[in-house]
Structure formats: structure tokens, C-alpha cells
Structure 1
Amino acid sequence: MSSPDTFTGWLGLDEKSAQGNLVWQSYTPKPFTPTDVDIAISHCGICGTDIHTLRSGWGKSNYPVCPGHEIVGTLTRIGASVTRFTLGERVGVGAQSGSCLRADCEECAAGMEQHCAKLFTGTYNGKFADGSKSYGGYAERIRLPAHFVVKIPEALESRDVAPMLCGGITVFSPLKKNGAGPGKKVGIVGVGGLGHFGLLFAKALGCEKVVAISRTQAKRKDAQAMGADDFIATEDGGWAKKHARSLDIIVSTVSGPNMPLQKYLQLLRTNGTFVQVGAPEDPMPAFSAFALIAKGCKIAGSQIGSPPEIEEMLKFAAEKGVKPWIQERRMKDANQAIVDMEDGKARYRYVLVNEENEHAKL
């Protein structure tokens, strides 16, 4: 097995790339170091972050951008200092590929690399400590520090693992940290790529009640098939009053800035928690402080998860048989796939497949 010094993938060159204008061309990855690995990519999920970044929705992107941070593939090169992996092993990569990893860093030392204040390198559109750029998974290969590579249980299929590496951990982590499980009533706002993972994991965690919250009734049957015990459509009048004080935890996956936040908070029971994981491009709406004070409620946020958390999630998914709802698309069709994603056609995650790498011995 070997890796070239130049990689090839889909690059966004400007804000219009999100409209299906990615260009397939070569680029130079970060310089290889003893702590790095190269991975031949077989599968890469499409995440909403890809579209936000390609169009510079969260701030000006560092073009060219090779998106994709839900990556599964085979190790083709391993640095001399890497002892945890072997050549040819199937591995995964999530949304982070670098942090400071210093012993005096409060976050990194505590296993919270995703919150490192000194250095956060996104798997794409980021910069490593040496100043080189990070390039993502809409490509043939990826290079990154081995610390941010995760092992995959043999029982899981690569196509199912890919969207878990960002979409899955984004909801699994806050559910676990906020006590989702037996005796808890949990609401998931948004029945989309993230939200469907929320329903699947909340059910697998054994929550007493799982409630899907969506704008319309359109996804009711799908949500029930994913494990929802109840369904709230916010287009229906009086929903907040009808379901007031009914949920212990709400995880909001929506990224629209006009969410009815004040009404969501009405759904919380005393000492309940509202966790926002969707990231709107505009500020979130205002709300009354009494929505928190009166019931002792909390508003929280959560960002992906550390490599050990991701491995914990994958092990849990394998044990519980959690299987995401995905649609496979060819890597060569990435442009049409992101257009369809933006149009809301995914049910519920698209996964790009490098057919050449899927079964090849690289």
C-alpha cells in the first residue's frame, strides 16, 4: 500500500460552489509527519455543514475547499509514531482533525478536544498547527493526525458509519451527557439528517418517551418508524400549551433562525434542558428569561464529540443495531447530491461512495 503526494477531490472555489459547482482537481495535502496517516476514502456522508461552508454562510471560507467530514476508508500509510492502527484497517474520521493536544490545555487534557480554545482544526476548511490547510472527504484520499482517527466495529457497514461520524455524534453526545435514558422524556426538534439520528439514539437509549417535533405533519410516519412515541407539528395551533411541561430534554437540530424558541421552552418540565446543536447562519430569536427562571431550566449547546466519544457511539450503535436511513450517491455525482441535499430531498442522509475504493485492495 502507498499514497501519492498529491490528492484529488471535489473543490469549491467560491460561494457559488454550493449550487453544484464543485470542480474535480488536484491539491496538496498537509506535509506528512510521523503522527499522521493517509486514508483511501470509500464513503463520505454529506452534512449540512458542507453547504454552509461552501457558501461562506458562517463566515468567509478559505477557498479552495474540499468538503466532507463523515469519512470511512482504508489506511494506506501510517506514520512511524503511530502504533494504534495497522495498514489496511478500516477507520473513520469525523468533523475534527486537529487540536493543540497540550498537557496544559484544560480541554485537551480532559478529553474534550472538540472544545480546545487554542487550536481547532476542522477536517476541512481549517489549518493545522504548521499552517497547512485541511482538506476533506469528497475526495480519493485524506491525510490527518492519527489522534483524530477512530476504529470501527466490524458489525457496522461503512455506508452506515459515515453519517454517524458527525451527524450521529452531534446528537448522541448531548443525549448521553444530559441523562437521556430510562425514565426520561425526550424531544427532538427537526426530523432531518441530524434529527433522525436523535430519534434513533433516544429510542436505543431506552428513554421513557421520545417525541418528534417538526413544522408539519409530513414526516410523522417516518418519525414513528424511527422510534418516536409522539409527534408534534408546530403548524398546528396550541401545540405549546397542549404539550407544556412534558419533556425533560429537548435537542434542537434545526438551523433556521426563526425557530419558535420561546414555545419550545414551554415544553420543558421543571429543571429541564434545551440543547441546541443546529447552527443557524443568523442569530437565534430572543426569549423571556422567565422561561428559564420559573422552572429552573437550562439552555445548552453541544459540539460533535471527542474521538473516544465517537468510538463509544459506534460501539453502542453496533450493540443496539442502530441503523441510519441513508441513500448512497456516487462520488462522481457529488454536485447533484449537494443540490438535492439543499433542496431537502435526502431521506435522511446522503452518503457518497468512491466505487473504485469501496472494494479495492489499496
Structure 2
Amino acid sequence: MSSPTTFHGWLAHDKSAANGTMTWSAFAPKPFNPIDIDIKISHCGICGTDIHTLRSGWGNTHYPVCVGHEIVGHVVRIGAGVTKALKLGDRVGVGAQAFSCLEDGCEECGKGLEQHCAKMVGTYNAKYPDGSWSMGGYADYVRVPAHFAIRIPEKLRSEDAAPMMCGGITVYAPLVANGAGPGVKVGIVGVGGLGHFGILFAAALGCSSVVAISRRRNKVADAKAMGATDYIATSEDAKWARTHARSLDLIISTVSSPDMPLESYLRLLRTGGQFIQVGAPEDKLPRIAAFGLIGKGCKIGGSQIGSPEQIEEMLKFAADKGVRPWVQTRSMKEANKSVVEMEEGRARYRYVLVNEEGGGKAKI
């Protein structure tokens, strides 16, 4: 096995890329370092972060950029300095992080919190220490430090594992970190790509109740099939905040809206409850009154993806528990169309691009 000197992928050249104007073009990957591996991509999930980046929603994007950080493929090149137990042909996944300092004196890396390292480099649209820019997985190959590649369990299909690399870990990590399990009542705000993972994992963790929270009731049947035990439609259920007050121990919010009814969500928490935000709006979160926290001793927090160790743990858990996301596969050739339809909210509930030349097979 080997990899080419030039990679090809869907490149965004300006903000219009979110409207479907990416071009399949050649690009030079980052310089190959001894700690790096090259992966021939077979699958790449479409994440909301991709769209925010394509349109410069979170700040100015460095164009041209190849997005995609829910990557699965096979190792085709291994650097001489790689110490991770990988071999050519291994099926691995890469999520939203491609680098951290991994230095002994780094407080975050030393605690296995690489995703919070001050020198963290995202899998795309981020600058490595050598000045090169990271490029993602809407492509034929990707090059990353081996530390951030995770072997995929045999029981998991590639199209299922791909969206777990970012979407899955984004909700799995805060669920586990904040005690989700038997006896715990969990609410998931947003029944979309992230939210559906939240429901699936909360149910698999054995939470005593899993409440799906969305604006409308059009996803009740889907949420119940995923494992939800109850459903709140905030725009249709009269006095929902009062009806369900003090009913949840933990809320994971996956929505990316600055207009969310945050104070009403806090009313749903029991004493000592926690509200964890993982969705990232392109604007600020709503204002809240301090008494929404003080009265019940509640906490608001946030969570960012997960470490390689946590991703490995999540993949094993998913394989053991039979957790399967609801995915729709699309040919890599349909990346532009798929991005537009993702933004339109048509995915049920995650699109995964399949690179047929990389060994994948799309089922449209």
C-alpha cells in the first residue's frame, strides 16, 4: 500500500461553498512527519461544523479548505516514529481533532484531555505548528498524526462508525462525564444529527428516562424508536416548562440557536441538575436570570468532542450494545448536493459520504 503525493478532495473557495459550489480539486497535504499516517478514505460523515466552516459562520475560514472530520478509512502509510499499534490495512477513524502538543508538562494532555489542549489542531481549517493547514475528509486521502486515529471495532459498520467520530462523541462524552446511567433522568434538546445520538446513547446507558425535546411533534415516532421514553414539543405543548418542571437530572443541548428558551429548559432541572451545551451557535446564547441557577443549585456547562481514549471507549460501547445511528449514505460525488440538503434539515439523521474508489459502497 502507498499514498500519492497529491490528494484530491472537495475544496471550498469562498462562503458560497455552503450553497453547493465546492470543486473536486487537487491539493497538497501537510508535510509527512514521522508521527503521521496516511489514510485512504472510504467514508466521511457530514457534520454541522462542516457547514458553519464552509460559510465562515464561526469566523473567517481559511480558503481553500476541504472539510469533513467524521472519517473512516484504511491505513496506507505509517511514519517511522509512530508508536501506536497500527499496521497497514487497519480500518481506523479520525474525528474533529488531528493534533495536540502531547507534552509531558501539558496539563490537559497529561490528563487525557487532548481536546482541550491549548495547541489543539482541528482536522480541517486549522494550522499545524509547522504552518501548514489541515485538510479534512471530503477527499480520497487524509494525513494526520497517528495518535488521533482510532481503530474501528469489527462489529461496527464503517457508515455507522463515521458519524460517531464527531457527532457521536460530542454527546457520549458529556453523558458519561455527568453521570448518565441507571436512575438518572436525561433530556436531549434537539432531535437532529447530534440529538439522535444523544437519545441512542442515553438509552443504551440505561437512563431511567430519556426525554426528547424539540420544537414540534413531527419526530415523536422516530424519537421513541431511538429509545426516548417521553417527548416535549416546545412550540406545541402548552405550558411545557411548568408541566415538566423539576423532572430531569441532566440536559444535553445539541441545538445551535441563539433563540433557544434557555430559562425554560432550566426549569426542567431537578435540584442540583446540570445543563450541558454542546451545540455551538454562530451567535451568543440567550441571557438568563441568576435565580434560574441559584434556586435549585443548578449548573450550566459545556463539552467539546472527546479525547482519543474516550472515542475508543465509545466505539467499543457502541459495538457491545449494538448502538446504530440512523444514517443515509451518499456517494462522495454528491457532496455538494448533500451539504445543501443537510442545511435544509432533510437528513434523517446523518449523511455519510461514501468514496467508492476507497472501498466504500453507497446505499442511496
Q: CA deviation at 1:81?
A: 1.4
SS at match of 1:82: coil
- Shift of the alpha carbon at 1:334? 0.2
Q: Distance in 1 between matches of 2:226 and 2:203?
A: 8
Match of 2:243 in 1: 242
Q: How does 1:173-192 map to 2 (within 5 A)?
A: 173-192=173-192
User: In structure 2, what is the Cα distance between the partners aligned to 1:151 and 1:312?
Assistant: 11
How far, CA to CA, are the matches of 1:356 and 1:37 in structure 2? Answer: 19
Offset at 1:359? 5.5
Note the C-alpha offset of 1:146: 0.4
Task: Show CA shifts across 1:27-74 (max 9, x none).
Answer: 101110110000000000000000000000000001111000000000
**1:317 paired residue number:** 318
Partner of 2:112: 111
Q: Does residue 15 of structure 2 align to residue 3 of structure 1? A: no
2:107, 2:134 → 1: CA distance? 24
Write the mapping of 1:214-253 to structure 2, written as runs, cut at 5 A.
214-235=214-235, 236-253=237-254
Displacement after TM superposition at 1:339 (Å): 0.3
Sort the Cα spacing of 1:230 and 1:359 in 2 relative to 1 into closer, same or farther, 3 A. Answer: closer
Distance of aligned partners of 1:56 and 1:359 in 2 relative to their CA distance in 1, 3 Å threshold:
closer
In 1, distance between residues paired with 2:318 and 2:147? 22
Q: How many residues align?
A: 359
Quick one: distance in 1 between partners of 2:91 and 2:51? 27
Give the Cα–Cα distance (whole angstroms) in 1 for the partners of residues 263 and 17 of structure 2: 35
SS in 1 for 2:292: helix
> Where does residue 265 of structure 1 map in the other structure?
266
Corresponding residue for 1:70? 70
**Is the CA contact 2:354–2:360 (under 8 Å) kept in the aligned structure 1?**
no
Tell me the percent identity.
67
2:9 corresponds to 1:24: no
Q: How does 1:13-52 map to 2 (within 5 A)?
A: 13-52=13-52
One-letter amino acid of the structure 2 residue matched with residue 201 of structure 1: F
Asked whether the equivalents of residues 66 and 139 of structure 2 are also in contact (C-alpha less than 8 Å), the reply is: yes
Tell me, in whole angstroms, the C-alpha distance in 2 between the residues paired with 1:223 and 1:155: 24
The structure-2 alpha-carbon separation of the partners of 1:87 and 1:294, relative to structure 1 and needing over 3 Å to count, comes to: same
Return the alpha-carbon distance in structure 1 between the equivalents of residues 91 and 282 of structure 2: 35
Deviation string for 1:135-164 (max 9, x for gaps)?
Answer: 000000000100111111111000000000
Q: Is the 8 A contact 2:212 2:228 kept in 1?
A: yes
How far off is 1:102 after superposition? Answer: 1.2
Q: What residue identity is the alignment partner of 1:213? A: I
Supply the RMSD in Å over aligned alpha carbons: 0.8
Contact 2:42 / 2:72 at 8 angstroms: preserved in 1? yes
**Distance across 2 between alignment mates of 1:115 and 1:357:** 32
**Distance (whole Å) between structure 2 residues aligned to residue 126 and residue 85 of structure 1:** 25
Q: In structure 2, the residue corresponding to 1:180 is in which secondary structure?
A: coil
Equivalent runs, 1:156-171 vs 2, <5 Å: 156-171=156-171
> Hey, which bits of structure 1, 4+ residues long, moved more than 4 A?
none
Residue 292 of structure 2 is aligned to residue 291 of structure 1: yes
Matches of 1:98 and 1:141, distance apart in 2: 17
| Consecutive unaligned residues in structure 1, runs of 5 or more | none
Unpaired runs of 5+ in structure 2? Answer: none
Partner of 1:282: 283
Q: Which amino acid aligns with 1:180?
A: A
Aligned to 1:126: 126
Give the Cα–Cα distance (whole angstroms) in 2 for the partners of residues 144 and 202 of structure 1: 31
- Secondary structure of the residue aligned to 1:72 is strand
